[in-house]
Amino acid sequence: MASLHLPCATTPSSQTRSSSRPVFAKPSHFITHAKRGHRLQVSCATENQNDSSRNVETSQGKVDRRNMLLGLGGLYGASNLVSAPGASANPIKPPEIDKCGTATNLNNNTQLDINCCPPLSQNIVDYRLPPVFQMKIRPSAHRVSPEYIFKYNMAIDRMKRLPKEDPRSFMQQANIHCAYCNGAYDQPGQGTLDLQVHNSWLFFPFHRWYLYFYERILGKLIGDPTFALPFWNWDNPKGMTIPPIFVDPKSALYDEKRNQANMPPAVVDLGMTRNPDPLQVVANNLTIMYNEMIRGNSDVYDFMGQPYREGTPVNPGPGASERGSHTAVHVWVGDPSQPSGEDLGNFYSAGRDPLFYCHHANVDRMWSLWQYFLPSKTVPDKRITDPDFLNAAFLFYDENAQLVRVTVKDCLDNLRMGYDFERIDLPIFPLTLDKIVRVLVPKTKKGKADELLLLENIQVDTTKFLKFDVFINDEDDNITELDKAAYVGTYAQVPHKTANKSATTSIRLKLTDLYDDMDVADDDTILVTLVPRHQGPGVTIGGIKIIENPTPAPPKTS
- Please give the positions annotated as active site: 177, 198, 207, 326, 330, 347, 360
Q: Bin 501: left if φ > 0, else alpha if -120 < ψ < 50, else beta.
A: left
Q: Are 221 and 160 in contact (CB under 8 A)?
A: no
**From CA 461, how far away is CA 501, in angstroms rounded?**
6
Question: What's at 62, amino acid-wise?
Answer: K
Q: Is 496 annotated as a binding residue?
A: no
Q: Please, which residues have CB within 8 angstroms of residue 33's CB and are 6 or more apart in sequence?
A: 424, 425, 427, 435, 436, 437, 438
**From CA 134, how far away is CA 427, in angstroms rounded?**
28
How many CA atoms lie within 13 Å of 189's alpha carbon, on the beta-carbon side?
A: 8
Q: Is 534 annotated as a binding residue?
A: no
Q: Is 281 helix (H, G, I), strand (E, B) or coil?
A: helix
Kindly report whether the peptide bond that precedes residue 188 is cis, defined as omega within 30 degrees of 0.
no
**From CA 85, how far away is CA 82, in angstroms rounded?**
9
Question: What's at 21, amino acid-wise?
Answer: R
**From CA 312, how far away is CA 193, in angstroms rounded?**
8
Beta strands in 12-114 (DSSP E): 31-33, 55-58, 61-64, 78-82, 104-105, 110-111
Torsion 162-163-168-174 (CA) sign: positive
CA distances from 90 to 303, 355, 391 (A): 22, 35, 9
Percentages helix, strand, coil for the chain (3-state, rounded to 5) are: 25, 20, 55
Q: Is 29 annotated as a binding residue?
A: no
Q: Is 207 annotated as a binding residue?
A: yes
CA distances from 310 to 96, 152, 208, 409 (A): 14, 39, 21, 17
Q: Please, which residues have CB within 8 angstroms of residue 88's CB and are 6 or more apart in sequence?
A: 309, 386, 387, 388
Q: Is 479 helix (H, G, I), strand (E, B) or coil?
A: coil
Q: Is 288 helix (H, G, I), strand (E, B) or coil?
A: helix
Q: Please, which residues have CB within 8 angstroms of residue 499's CB and are 6 or more apart in sequence?
A: none
List binding-site positions for Cu cation: 177, 198, 207, 326, 330, 360
